[in-house]
Structure 1
Amino acid sequence: MAWEFRRPLFDLQGALVVGIGAGDTQIRSSRFTSLGTDYSTGSYLPLTITDDTGSEVVWVTSHGTASDGVTVTRGREGTTARPFDSTAIVRCTPTLRDVVSAVANRSALPSDAHYGCRVLILNEGQVVERTSAGWNDSAPLEDDATRKHRWNQSGATVNAPGGLISGLSGGQTNTTGTLATMSGGALSLNAQGMWSLGLAMYGTSQSARNEGVEMRWPGGAFPGGIGSLFDVSGAQGGTSPSGNALHQITWTGYVPSGSVGDPISMYASTTVTLVGCVFDVFAEYLGR
């Protein structure tokens, strides 16, 4: 492990004693003489070197007693190592790592983040914080459309005995997420963490029937050992009377890394033809 502890100092600023090249790992300033001697790759001091043409962030990893020189790792936090002459100013000042920055997804989280570093993951709408246990959610989830997904179908006909629900499409104005995807009647959850799922069917028939909806995880069981989810009419001898009926199933649970991307199939079943059916599927990512 490295770069766990970030140790900024207040009011540290001074000029370089001598210029440096892009490959130098020693920098000198009279302001360094009072620094401590316990810096390392696991406990570093962030500095910014600035001149009239730009800046570079360096991390101090070593300092000798009363020395005006420090050992640094060059070109940190997205900056590039470059030459500076003796007119350059070195200071400890807030950088991008000291505020909440943003990345597109979890795979883009910085590998050299310090404990307490906070990053917004854009496709989850979630702020996470680096701890000794890794990246943990550091803020409550808000009502963010980027974590919500919805698909629906209307005016469908379901013939007995039923089958895979297909023809679902998106387009809900309050859902813009891409963490879940739908293909050919199969729903895939593409992120590890807590999820909430639902499937609803509303249909009409002119005669009594037995009908229902079902969600099937590959292998026959949802994470946690729960079997397929289903809702089937069971009143009056296992049938529903003629007319309208609504069936709905929901699930909230944790999707482990090994189950990410598994296709969850959705089925409708009926003993008679159903007309004017409306299907609605939702999937909301609740975070890690």
Structure 2
Amino acid sequence: MKSENETSSVDFILLGFLSRTNVHMFPMAMILLAFIAALSGNALLMLLIQVDFSLHTPMYFFLRQLAFMDICQTLIIVPKMLADFLIPGNPISPAGCGTQIFLALTMGASECLLLAVMSYDRYIAICNPLQYPVLMRRSICFLLSVGVWMGASVNAFIQTVFTLGFPYCGSKEIDHFLCEIPALLKLSCSDTSRYETLLFVAGIVMLLIPSSLILATYACILYRVLSMKSTKGQQKALATCSSHLTVVVMFYGAAIFMYMRPSSYHSPEQDKIVSLFYTIVPPVLNPLIYSLRNRDVLHALRKWIGKCRHFQQD
């Protein structure tokens, strides 16, 4: 027991996404560019929603939170990832690893729940527009937002406490670019099968149920859109929902593939690639998907650029 307690307090080492060679400098440069694009794109989206009063609607209230989650997720993962590539063997303490697990899980689970809330918002707006001002009034939006953050935080706290409670008496090298539960459990010298069952149940609650609700709402939306007589109305509704659905498929698909598989089916190389698709790729693509395919956001961007030019000329 003493040796197990001693080794459980030893710092971990994240081996990173790629080995440190000149050949792999290009992918790391791309990740750095993705980091800059994610921060700038989401920050710009939050700014536009804040300064343009036409975007002060429930849809953009939730979209601003999504942008905030993406910024936090990027800051939690990428700087440490780049530092580990530049300084191989850079350790991370168990407390630091637990903090990264908690924050990353909180942001990831929040996005899972928020995407379901956003699909509900679109369902009400398209299928029951007359009741939209009542069903999606500010107080309800606030309560939904609080529920998203509280549910995600509680889930992340429970998962973090359980994960750090196991003894890690083997290798201290985590073959991943972040402290993630499946990669960390492989280093434990105790039986983690019961906890893996708990993870599977958590995956059902945080991934399968929200994704099923999203699919159900979009089935109703599609039925309603196809029954519209206005072609313009159909195109606008489909354009709005297709943006959201693109994010949903990419994010949920990768997360389900990661957390709903038995541990025997995990491999470090595969897990790293899959993790990219729900940790780094969505923060880069979300601002592009929600701006380039959204006329309201593009209009707000043009107005903001015009005001900036007018201010510079004066």
TM-score bracket for the superposition, by shorter chain length: under 0.3
| Higher percent of residues as strand | 1
> What is the TM-score of this pair, normalised by structure 1?
0.21
> What is the TM-score of this pair, normalised by structure 2?
0.20
| Higher percent of residues as helix | 2
